Structure 1
Amino acid sequence: MNIGLFGYGKMGKMIEQIAQQRGHSIVAKVDVGTKEADYSKMDVAIDFSTPDAAYQNIITCFENKVPVISGTTGWLERYAEAVKHCQEKKGAFIYASNFSLGVNLFFELNEQLASMMSKLEQYSVSMEEIHHTQKLDAPSGTAITLAEGIIEHSSYKTWKSETADEKSIPITSKREGAVAGTHIVSYESEVDKIEIKHVAHNRKGFALGAVIAAEWIQGKTGVFSMKDVLNLS
């Protein structure tokens, strides 16, 4: 499989390493300052660029009939436009706030727990996410996905940073050292506390999941998620 990398920072380099270990080739590295790329050589594009570059990267790939795996967060106000463009061009697209296989299982666990806890009004939910100091967005895309999963299965209506009322989920964001990513969902009452937690030890899990998604999407048309890749739908 020939992969075009969009964004060649730490994640891009990790994806390159894992892709090559799995027998794939990197045929383009598109980063800040790259003027052109040969889309005809790409079987798939993996985008871990920046919020201001991601949308145009994705659209250009669809224009050139290249399937896209996108893990860039912070651009999702244009996600619906990207989906529409993909469908118009009969392209293939997977966006995930987090491609880690463990995190995607954690997403499923979070939704199941939210459904069970929705019947118990004495518990209030809160979230905390911790990342390295270079992370640009807060809350993390993963935290937002977790919050959306809770909202879908409960009476909560929205999420807010730090503080919230009874109908919104408070998300606390911390930026510390070189933390790869920690997410904690807590349900607390006067008598006890229930927590689920995911801790990423490094970026390898994110990169591996993105490469597996790129392998899975070959030959497919449509807009998918990691639930499809992991057969969790």
Structure 2
Amino acid sequence: MKIALLGYGKMGKTIEQIAIQRGHSIVIKTNNEDYDISKADIAIDFSIPTAAFNNITHCLNNNIPVISGTTGWLENYDKAVALCEEKKGAFIYASNFSLGVNIFFELNNTLAKMMHSLKEYNVSIEEIHHTQKLDAPSGTAITLANGIIKEYSNLNGWSLEPNKEDALPITAKRIDAVPGTHTVTYQSKVDTIDIKHTAHSREGFALGAVVAAEWLLGKTGVFSMKDVLNIN
């Protein structure tokens, strides 16, 4: 595949290394909006929240399949989906492309179904990322939160405020050199249940993005990592 890397920071450079190892070539690597997307077979967007939607629409308007792992732009997600359907394009967004994290999402959903009727337990989420991460909470934390909220009729959303009524509390921490740690906690007076995912490097995220691009090439539609990984 000829890959366009839209966003060439630390993640983009890690994706480049893995893509080349897997026999692909990088024909575009940029942090700017001035590029010729027609050179590429597929695009992988790990840019910044303010650039992501423009990158995605540019790809779809030019019939280039696009993978996006940028978070913080999802107020425009429905517009991207509509454009993809209109153009009969191909698009995958994931808050996290790591195989382990996507398994963690499924564990989180299953545990929430088991716990929602146990009123003795209070549920919360903590996420820790490196200090260069621009959005808070992380997209991964929001995905975890949404998986819990859909099982809890008394929760109307999530909040970074710890004691906001009817909201699932999320604590977002920024610490140097932390690729990403997410913990879901159910706490009662008598015990605590935690499930936790700790990323040791960016390589898991980058590999997942390249695998998703390999999977998407030649397809039409809007997909998720559940489709890529055949998680039912």
Residue 59 of structure 1, aligned match among 44, 57, 60 = 57
How far apart are the structure 2 equivalents of 1:68 and 1:164? 39
Give the structure 1 partner of residue 186 of structure 2.
187
How far apart are the structure 2 equivalents of 1:105 and 1:152? 18
SS of the residue 2:197 aligns to:
strand
1:163 alignment partner AA = P
Give the structure 2 partner of residue 140 of structure 1.
138
TM-score, normalised via structure 1 length: 0.96
Give the structure 2 partner of residue 29 of structure 1.
29
Give the structure 1 partner of residue 174 of structure 2.
175
Gaps (5+ residues) in structure 2? none
TM-superposed CA distance for 1:157, in Å, is 2.0
TM-superposed CA distance for 1:102, in Å, is 0.4
2:28 alignment partner AA = A
Give the structure 2 partner of residue 12 of structure 1.
12
**What is the RMSD computed on CA atoms of the aligned residues?**
1.0
SS of the residue 2:75 aligns to:
helix
TM-superposed CA distance for 1:48, in Å, is 0.2
1:223 alignment partner AA = V
TM-superposed CA distance for 1:166, in Å, is 5.2
**Runs of 4+ with deviation above 4 angstroms:** none
How far apart are the structure 2 equivalents of 1:21 and 1:200? 21
Compare 45-54 and 147-156 and name the one that shifted more. Answer: 147-156
Give the structure 1 partner of residue 106 of structure 2.
108
TM-superposed CA distance for 1:163, in Å, is 1.2
Contact 2:122-2:188 within 8 A present in 1 as well: yes
How far apart are the structure 2 equivalents of 1:162 and 1:198? 23
1:21 alignment partner AA = Q
Contact 2:2-2:25 within 8 A present in 1 as well: yes
2:24 alignment partner AA = H
TM-score, normalised via structure 2 length: 0.97
How far apart are the structure 1 equivalents of 2:217 and 2:35? 24
- Report Cα offsets for 1:178-212 as digits up to 9, x if no partner: 10000000001111110000000010000000000
SS of the residue 1:19 aligns to:
helix
Give the structure 2 partner of residue 226 of structure 1.
225
TM-superposed CA distance for 1:40, in Å, is 2.5
Give the structure 2 partner of residue 86 of structure 1.
84
Give the structure 1 partner of residue 48 of structure 2.
50
Contact 1:162-1:173 within 8 A present in 2 as well: no
Give the structure 1 partner of residue 161 of structure 2.
162
1:90 alignment partner AA = K
1:40 alignment partner AA = S
SS of the residue 1:18 aligns to:
helix
Say whether 1:152 aligns with 2:150.
yes
Gaps (5+ residues) in structure 1? none
Give the structure 2 partner of residue 124 of structure 1.
122
How far apart are the structure 2 equivalents of 1:228 and 1:30? 28
